[in-house]
Amino acid sequence: MKKYYLSLIAFILFLTFFSQKITAQTTAKEAVVKIEGEVLRPLTIGISDFAKMKHVDASMKNREGVMQKYSGVPIFDLLQQAGVTVGKELKGENLTKYMLVRSSDGYELVFSLAELDPSFTNRVIILADSKDGKPLADGVGPFRLVVPDENKPARSALEVTHLIIRFAKD
């Protein structure tokens, strides 16, 4: 009988421990970036899925004028995945579409779609998730826009949470 109670207690302890572990796993919030608006497939990408996507390097000068090298996913690839009008479709009224970048501190800025499309430009703007092989620091990441060949880094949004596609046309 004693043995029975002991194994019952052990079983209850086991259940308590693992159910807590499972709850912790499902409630721990992973940082995400959302792509929405004028898109066929709105996306919510978590940092671990983002890390698995094809990465490229991109460099830009910081506020002090020192070149910094980041790694991330081209914005164009993200737009393609979300089903944004790109390439041959980027003509006529679609040329009035823009991407609004929103950050967790409320900072916002825009790029026209043509600024992001390889059929218009060779400049590759990325959403970076690492620098020097390390995840971006708190207050910078987990996602930062890296904009090469700009005279100041004001459009290089820190802590990006949303890429929103909109129509400027009335």
Residue 101 touching ligand MTE (CB under 6 A): no
Instruction: Give least dist CB 157 to ligand MTE, A.
Output: 4
**What is the nearest approach in angstroms of Mo ion to the Cβ of residue 157?**
11
Q: What's the rounded Cα separation, in Å, for the pair 64 and 42?
A: 36
> Does residue 110 interact with ligand MTE by CB under 6 A?
no
* Cβ-count burial 83-111 (b if 16+ within 10 Å, e if not): ebbbeeebeeebbebbbebbbeeeeeeeb
Binder of residue 62, out of Mo ion, ligand MTE, none (CB less than 5 to 8 A by kind): ligand MTE
**Contact mark string toward Mo ion, 150..169, x via CB under 5 A:** ----x---------------
As a three-state string, the secondary structure of 133-149 is CEECCCCCCCCEEECCC
Contact 143, 128 (CB under 8 A): yes
Site for ligand MTE in 63-92 (CB under 6 A): 63
If one asks whether residue 142 binds ligand MTE (CB under 6 A), the answer comes out as: no
Among Mo ion, ligand MTE, none, what does residue 103 contact (CB within 5–8 Å per kind)?
Answer: ligand MTE
d(CA 138, CA 167): 32
| Cα dihedral 45, 48, 49, 53 sign | positive
Judged by CB under 6 A, which of 90, 97, 153, 164 binds ligand MTE?
153
Does residue 105 touch Mo ion according to CB under 5 A? no
